[in-house]
Structure 1
Amino acid sequence: MASFATGSPSQETGTNWVRLRTLILLRWMAIAGQIAAILVAGQVYGLDLPLGPCVLAVGASILANLALVMLFPENRRLSEAEAFLTLLFDLGQLGVLIFLTGGLTNPFAILVLAPVTISASVLRLRSTITLGALAILIVTAALVWHLPLRFADGRALVIPPLFVFGFWLSIVIGILFLGLYSRRVATEMRSMSEALLATQMALAREQKLTDLAGVVAAAAHELGTPLATIKLVSAELIEELDGQPALQEDARLIRDQADRCRDILRDMGRAGKDDRHLRQAPLSAVLREAAEPHLSRGKGVEFAFGPVQDGTDEQPVIQRRPEIIHGLRNLVQNAVDFARSRVWIEGEWTAQRIIVRITDDGDGFPANVIGRIGDPFVRVRRPEPEPDRRPGYEGMGLGLFIAKTLLERSGADLSFANATDPFLPQKDRPDRSGAVVEAIWDRDVLVAAQTQGGLGDNPRIAD
Structure 2
Amino acid sequence: MTRSIAFRADGDAGSRNQRLLVQLRWIAIGGQLTAILAVNFGLGITLPLTPMLATLGVLLGLNLFALFRRGRSTTNLQMFGVLLVDVGALTVQLYLSGGATNPFVTLYLLQVVIGAVLLSAWSSWALVAMTSVAFAALAVVHRPLPLPAALASALSPGFMAANWFNFTLTSILLVAFVTRMARNVRDRDAHLAAIRQRAAEEDHIVRMGLLASGAAHELGTPLASLSVALGDWRQEPAIAGSRRLAAEVDEMRDEIARCKKILGGVLFAAGEVTGEAPVRTSLHRFLEGVVEDWRGKGPVPLRFESHLGPDRPIVADRALAQALTNLFDNAAEAGAGSITLAAVMDGPILVLAVRDDGRGFREDMLGTVGQPYRSSKEAGGLGLFLATNVLRTLGGTLEAQNRAGGGAEVVLALPIASLALEETE
TM-score by shorter chain over 0.5: yes
**CA distance change for structure 1 residues 116 and 125 in 2, over 3 Å: closer, same or farther?**
same
The residue matched to 1:158 in structure 2 has which SS? coil
Is contact 1:110-1:171 (8 Å) kept? yes
Give, in angstroms, the shift of residue 265 of structure 1.
Answer: 1.0
Query: In the aligned structure 1, how far is the partner of 2:66 from the partner of 2:226?
Result: 72
Query: In the aligned structure 1, how far is the partner of 2:110 from the partner of 2:102?
Result: 16
Q: Which one-letter code corresponds to 2:168 in the other structure?
A: V
Q: 1:270 aligns with which of 268, 271, 283?
A: 268
**CA distance change for structure 1 residues 18 and 79 in 2, over 3 Å: closer, same or farther?**
farther
Partner residue in 2 for 1:79: 75
Is contact 1:217-1:268 (8 Å) kept? yes
Partner residue in 2 for 1:33: 31
Query: In the aligned structure 1, how far is the partner of 2:238 from the partner of 2:100?
Result: 107
Partner residue in 1 for 2:133: 137
Is contact 1:57-1:97 (8 Å) kept? yes
Query: In the aligned structure 2, how far is the partner of 1:298 from the partner of 1:24?
Result: 67
Query: In the aligned structure 2, how far is the partner of 1:182 from the partner of 1:67?
Result: 29
Is contact 2:15-2:71 (8 Å) kept? no
Q: 2:179 aligns with which of 180, 183, 187?
A: 183
**CA distance change for structure 1 residues 144 and 155 in 2, over 3 Å: closer, same or farther?**
farther
Is contact 1:18-1:79 (8 Å) kept? no
Partner residue in 2 for 1:160: 155
More helix by share: 2
**CA distance change for structure 1 residues 18 and 131 in 2, over 3 Å: closer, same or farther?**
farther
Query: In the aligned structure 2, how far is the partner of 1:103 from the partner of 1:230?
Result: 96
Residue 256 (structure 1) aligned with residue 254 (structure 2):
yes
Q: Which one-letter code corresponds to 1:32 in the other structure?
A: G
Query: In the aligned structure 1, how far is the partner of 2:309 from the partner of 2:139?
Result: 68
Partner residue in 2 for 1:449: none
Q: Flag the structure with more relative contact order, 1 or 2, with Cα contacts below 8 A and sequence separation at least 6.
A: 1
Q: Which one-letter code corresponds to 2:45 in the other structure?
A: L
Partner residue in 1 for 2:215: 219
Structure 1, residues 70-96: CA drift from partner, whole Å, max 9, x if none?
2x1x23331111111111111111111
Structure 1, residues 112-143: CA drift from partner, whole Å, max 9, x if none?
11222122222221111111100100000000
Length-normalised TM-score, structure 1? 0.51
Query: In the aligned structure 2, how far is the partner of 1:172 from the partner of 1:271?
Result: 63
The residue matched to 2:268 in structure 1 has which SS? coil
**CA distance change for structure 1 residues 96 and 241 in 2, over 3 Å: closer, same or farther?**
farther
Using the aligned pairs only, state the percent identity: 30
Give, in angstroms, the shift of residue 20 of structure 1.
Answer: 3.1
Query: In the aligned structure 2, how far is the partner of 1:123 from the partner of 1:93?
Result: 19
Is contact 1:101-1:149 (8 Å) kept? yes
Structure 1, residues 52-72: CA drift from partner, whole Å, max 9, x if none?
1101111001111112222x1
Query: In the aligned structure 2, how far is the partner of 1:159 from the partner of 1:248?
Result: 115
Residue 110 (structure 1) aligned with residue 106 (structure 2):
yes
Give, in angstroms, the shift of residue 198 of structure 1.
Answer: 2.7
Query: In the aligned structure 1, how far is the partner of 2:38 from the partner of 2:85?
Result: 25
Partner residue in 1 for 2:55: 57
Aligned length: 272
**CA distance change for structure 1 residues 256 and 101 in 2, over 3 Å: closer, same or farther?**
same
Q: Which one-letter code corresponds to 2:169 in the other structure?
A: I
Note the residue ranges of structure 1 that are not aligned, 5 or more in a row: 1-13, 279-296, 302-338, 343-402, 404-463
Q: Which one-letter code corresponds to 1:44 in the other structure?
A: G
Please tell me the root mean square deviation across aligned C-alpha atoms, in Å: 3.8
Partner residue in 2 for 1:22: 20
Give, in angstroms, the shift of residue 256 of structure 1.
Answer: 3.3
Q: How does 1:375-454 map to 2 (within 5 A)?
A: none
